[in-house]
Amino acid sequence: MIKPEAMAAGHAGKVLDMILSAGFRLVSLKYTRLSEAEAGKFYEVHKERGFYRELVEYMASGPVLAAILEKDNAVQDFRKLIGSTDPAEAAEGTIRKRFAESKAKNAVHGSDSDENAAIEGAFFFTTREQY
| Cα(44)–Cα(118) distance, integer angstroms | 16
Q: Least distance in Å: CB of 131 to ligand ADP?
A: 26
Instruction: CB nearer to Mg ion: give 101 or 112.
Output: 112
**CA atoms of 80 and 63, how far apart (whole Å):** 25
Segment 86-125, which members bind Mg ion (CB under 5 A)?
A: 112
Identify which of 110, 126, 123, 21 has the alpha carbon closest to the alpha carbon of residue 74: 110
Nearest residue to Mg ion on Cβ basis: 112
Which residues are at the interface with ligand ADP (CB under 6 A)?
46, 51, 55, 85, 103-104, 106, 109, 112
The CA angle 36-37-42, to the nearest 5 degrees, is: 95
Q: What secondary structure, in 3-state letters, does 31-49 show?
A: EECCCHHHHHHHCHHHCCC
**Does the annotation mark 109 as catalytic?**
yes
Nearer to Mg ion, 15 or 55 (CB): 55
Nearer residue to ligand ADP within complex by CB, 102 or 129:
102
Among the listed residues 33, 79, 103, 109, the single catalytic one is 109
Q: Give the interface with Mg ion as residue ranges (CB under 5 A).
A: 112
Catalogue the active-site residues. Answer: 109
